[in-house]
């Protein structure tokens, strides 16, 4: 798969594409993955339209940290004892959706990320 032309996650944030939301703050949105690779597979995204994790800078580390805080809080909310956090970075890193996202996966893991 290659990078998509459009930022479909920005369209989810805007409410133009529906999602199965599990968590939201002023800066973060999380929703179930449409093609789950585990029993629980959740996308955690910043509402700011950052394309890849290469855009991390000393000025936005707090926002990237909020992705991990959200993962912890969602795991508690969803009663997940253990989980994997995964991030693909850029096309060569397997990223398809051009919007930063952290995969939260738990249980019955499948291959294909
Ligand atoms: P990546 O390969 O890291 O870019 O992962 C993108 C993820 O977004 C994949 O696991 C897709 O299944 C998921 N995805 C694509 N479109 C949607 C959507 N409309 N709602 C929820 N998840 C989606």
pLDDT value at residue 1? 72
Which residue of the set 41, 99, 101, 103 is catalytic?
Answer: 101
Q: Is residue 17 part of a domain?
A: yes
Q: What is the pLDDT of residues 39-58, one digit of tens each?
A: 999 999 999 999 999 999 99
Whether 22 maps to a domain, the answer reads yes
Answer yes or no: is pLDDT of 94 > 90: yes
Instruction: Provide the domain limits for residue 24.
Output: 8-106
> Ligand 1 in contact with 8 (CB < 6 A)?
yes
Tell me the C-alpha distance between 88 and 101, whole Å. Answer: 8
Structure confidence at residue 68 (pLDDT): 98
The number of domains in the chain is 1
Q: Say which residues have a Cβ less than 8 Å from residue 69's Cβ, sequence separation at least 6.
A: none
Report the predicted TM-score, pTM, of the whole model to 2 decimal places. 0.98
Q: Tell me if 112 is assigned to some domain.
A: no
Do the domain assignments include residue 49? yes
Buried b (16+ CB within 10 A) or exposed e, 3-31: eeeebbbbebbeeeeebeebbeeeebbbb
Question: Does 111 map to a domain?
Answer: no
Q: Pinpoint the alpha helices (H) of the chain.
A: 8-13, 61-77
Check if 51 has its Cβ closer than 6 Å to any atom of ligand 1.
Answer: no
Instruction: Confirm whether 64 is domain-assigned.
Output: yes
Decide if 86 is catalytic: no
pLDDT band at 24 (very low <50, low <70, confident <90, very high): very high
- In angstroms, the CA 5 to CA 98 distance is 8
| Cα-to-centroid distance, 65 and ligand 1 (Å) | 21
Q: Is 37 inside any structural domain?
A: yes
* Within a domain: 80: yes
Residues recorded for the chain: 113
- Whichever domain contains 32, its CATH number is 3.30.428.10
């Amino acid at each position: 798969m290659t990078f998509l032309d459009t930022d479909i996650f920005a369209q989810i944030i805007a409410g133009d594409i529906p999602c199965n939301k599990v968590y939201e703050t002023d800066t973060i949105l999380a929703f179930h993955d449409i093609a789950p690779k585990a029993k629980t597979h959740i996308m955690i995204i910043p509402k700011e339209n950052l394309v890849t994790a290469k855009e991390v800078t000393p000025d936005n580390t707090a926002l990237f940290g909020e992705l991990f805080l959200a993962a912890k809080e969602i795991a508690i909310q969803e009663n997940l004892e253990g989980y994997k956090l995964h991030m693909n970075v850029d096309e060569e890193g397997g990223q398809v959706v051009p919007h930063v996202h952290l995969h939260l996966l738990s249980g019955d893991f499948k291959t294909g990320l």
